Amino acid sequence: MENKHITIFHGPQHPGITGNMSIELDLIGETIQKATTHVGYLHRGFEKLIERRTVIQAFTIVCRICVPEPDPNEANFAMAVEELAGLEVTPRAQYIRVMVLELSRLAAQFLWMAGQSGSIGLYAVGQWAIADRDLILDLFEELTGARVYHMYIYPGGVRRDLPEGFLERVTTLLIYMKKRLKDYDDIFINNASFKNRAVGVGIISKEEAVANGYVGQVLRGCGIKADVRKDAPYLVYNELEFEVPTQTTGDVYARALVRRAEMDQSLHILDQVVRKMPEGKVMIKIPTHRKFKLPKDDTWVKVESARGEFAYYMAGDGSEKIRRMQVRGPSLVHAYTLLEDLLIGAELSDVALIMNSLGICPPEIER
């Protein structure tokens, strides 16, 4: 029987899709001829909502821009406000911020591992990864009072000081994680099933990655050493030692290896943060929410999230409200230009595999 064109929707309700979005696939047999990304399932209008609130009120919204990794949003927002308002954060608050950001990166990588392994049917890895991520969330619960949306990194510092004995508990977790990550190497990263599926799939060339503005593991997976923490250090990253892992092949497996190496680097950074944590205050005095005004100026700040460069543009107009805020995350370019290109010629069974390797988070596209 002759194969005919079939059009199917992959998502928005599909276990192999990273969030509420869908990909329209034109197939001949199992091979994809054309892929079209559709978003619009969870538009909440963050940028517009922020314009209608005072600076302090807006701070509670930004963490919702990325569910798996809310902290880079909080850090970006706080850093942008501080830069506009001319606030200087205490060293202890900066170290705590780095600790929160690295713990959050680690949690996000575990979530990626769950999704990436699930996309090829290695469900045990997913169960383990979610359980281990929960250990990090336990620490967040203790530090911030919430497990997922922490609302902790605040303009002027952080909202609470470290609880008693918290650094010891972080150290205990680091020791456990260093041992535990080797188990993931055995059952997932070095697993022949994963290698056979991921090597040579979803290849991106160096030139293409640079020309289209791809970031994060997509860029590092094809050999470009780009990391905001090194290229434009923020907080206290310039006082910490770490490497930027890269691979050269640019395929799904290269991106997985980069992510796995980054988990080791996060543990290394956390280890240094725990040892170097300075004493002092965690919050400077800031005006109340009716009196907190931003000058007529604008700024562009960026951090390195678990999925790549994450930037905020913020403009003030002299009032207590933010005139304009724009979010530039990795998901927009990765979900549109990159995913649509990569899927052409790929097999239907590789859609979830490729998509998970790109770090796409739909709320960030529809901010």
Partner 1 sequence: MKWSVDLKGTLSPLSIITAFWLKPNTIAYPAVKKETAKGYRGFHTNFLADCIGCANCQDVCMNDAIDMIKTDKEYNSKNTSQCIPRIDYGRCCWCSLCTDVCPPNSLKLEDDYLNVTKHASDFLYMPKDKE
Q: What is the dihedral of CA 159, 161, 167, 168, to 10 degrees?
A: -120
Task: Please give the C-alpha separations between residue 40 and each of 23, 45, 47, 337, 367, in angstroms, as whole numbers.
Answer: 12, 11, 15, 17, 10
Give the DSSP letter of residue 54: B
Is 332 or 353 the residue whose CB approaches partner 1 more closely?
A: 353
At 137, which amino acid appears?
A: L
How far apart are CB 53 and partner 1 at their closest, in Å?
Answer: 5
Is residue 53 close enough to count as binding partner 1 by CB under 8 A?
Answer: yes
Is 43 or 195 the residue whose CB approaches partner 1 more closely?
A: 195
Is residue 146 close enough to count as binding partner 1 by CB under 8 A?
Answer: yes
Is residue 168 close enough to count as binding partner 1 by CB under 8 A?
Answer: no
Q: Which stretch binds partner 1 (CB under 8 A): 31-39, 71-79, 192-200, 305-313?
A: 192-200
Location of structure tokens 């998970």: 356
Is residue 283 close enough to count as binding partner 1 by CB under 8 A?
Answer: no
Is 163 or 280 the residue whose CB approaches partner 1 more closely?
A: 163
**Binding string, residues 196-225; x marks residues near partner 1 by CB under 8 A:** x-----------------------------
First-to-last CA distance in the chain?
46
**Residues 6 or more apart from 120 whose CB is under 8 A from it?**
193, 194, 197, 198, 353
Q: Give the DSSP letter string of 84-102.
A: HHT----HHHHHHHHHHHH
Distance CA 159, CA 141 (A): 13
Interacting residue with partner 1 among 192, 241, 275, 279 (CB under 8 A): 192
Is residue 142 close enough to count as binding partner 1 by CB under 8 A?
Answer: yes
Is residue 47 close enough to count as binding partner 1 by CB under 8 A?
Answer: no
Burial class (CB in 10 A: 0-12, 13-18, 19+), 327: buried
Is 285 or 290 the residue whose CB approaches partner 1 more closely?
A: 290
Structure tokens at 45: 């209008």
Is residue 31 close enough to count as binding partner 1 by CB under 8 A?
Answer: no
Is residue 141 close enough to count as binding partner 1 by CB under 8 A?
Answer: yes
**Binding string, residues 104-133; x marks residues near partner 1 by CB under 8 A:** --------------------x---x--xx-
Task: Please give the C-alpha separations between residue 43 and each of 268, 292, 333, 363, in angstroms, as whole numbers.
Answer: 37, 29, 17, 7
Give the total of residues touching partner 1 (CB under 8 A): 36
Is residue 326 close enough to count as binding partner 1 by CB under 8 A?
Answer: no
Q: Which stretch binds partner 1 (CB under 8 A): 3-11, 72-80, 97-105, 134-142?
A: 134-142
Cα–chain center distance at 206: 22
Rg over CA atoms, the chain: 21
Interacting residue ranges for partner 1, rule: CB under 8 A: 53-54, 56-58, 60-61, 124, 128, 131-132, 134, 138, 141-142, 145-146, 149, 151, 159-160, 163, 183, 185-188, 190-193, 195-196, 288-290
